[in-house]
Amino acid sequence: MKTCTKCGEEKGLNEFHRCRGKKDGRHGHCKPCRCTATLAYAQTTRGRATRRTRREARRLTARGRATNLHRNTKCRAKKKGICFNLGKDWIEIRMLAGYCEITGVEFDFTAATGPFSPSIDRVESGGGYTEENCRVVCWVLNAAMNDWGLDPVLKLARALLEQQK
């Protein structure tokens, strides 16, 4: 048994989170007290800033980015009633590769949704989010292809290049 230094209640050891720095290996405050404090901190300006910083840091790693992309795409698929069975690993491998699968342009991980942020494109736009029907491309290309696919974008790109000459 151990007494919580916050609420003063005596509780079993497993009512306290593990904490390496402490003599008995447990946190001084009990789990409910810690939980209340964590939730309260999250509501403060500083707590919100901390969460934002962590969220932004996560966006920059391949694993973190894959998690975000997986969650967001799955959510969008569910809303539209589209089948989704992409694995997080499948996305992470493509985040690690770091390049758009169609243009070869390097992904920009700093923005949440910038023109060169990674996005998941369905090859058959009416098909599902399956590993066979998907590829990871930059946002600007995905937006330009819309439901029309690559051909109109190629035509547009050639015309643009001609005009720039």
- Which residues make up the interface to Zn ion (CB under 5 A)? 4, 6-7, 30, 33
Identify whether the C-beta of residue 129 lies closer than 8 Å to the C-beta of residue 85.
yes
Q: Output 2 or 135, the one with its CB closest to Zn ion.
A: 2
Residue type at 138 in one-letter notation: C
Instruction: Indicate the burial class of 1 (C-beta count within 10 angstroms; 0-12, 13-18, 19 or more).
Output: exposed
Q: How far is the CB of 5 from Zn ion (least distance, A)?
A: 8
Q: How far is the CB of 20 from Zn ion (least distance, A)?
A: 20
Q: Which two tokens stand for residue 28?
A: 């001084």
Q: How far is the CB of 26 from Zn ion (least distance, A)?
A: 12
Tell me 25's DSSP state. Answer: S
Q: Output 3 or 113, the one with its CB closest to Zn ion.
A: 3
The phi-psi region of residue 44 (left if phi > 0; otherwise alpha if psi is between -120 and 50; otherwise beta) is beta
Cα separation, 8 vs 111, whole angstroms: 46
Q: Output 30 or 77, the one with its CB closest to Zn ion.
A: 30
Q: How far is the CB of 18 from Zn ion (least distance, A)?
A: 16
Q: Output 26 or 59, the one with its CB closest to Zn ion.
A: 26
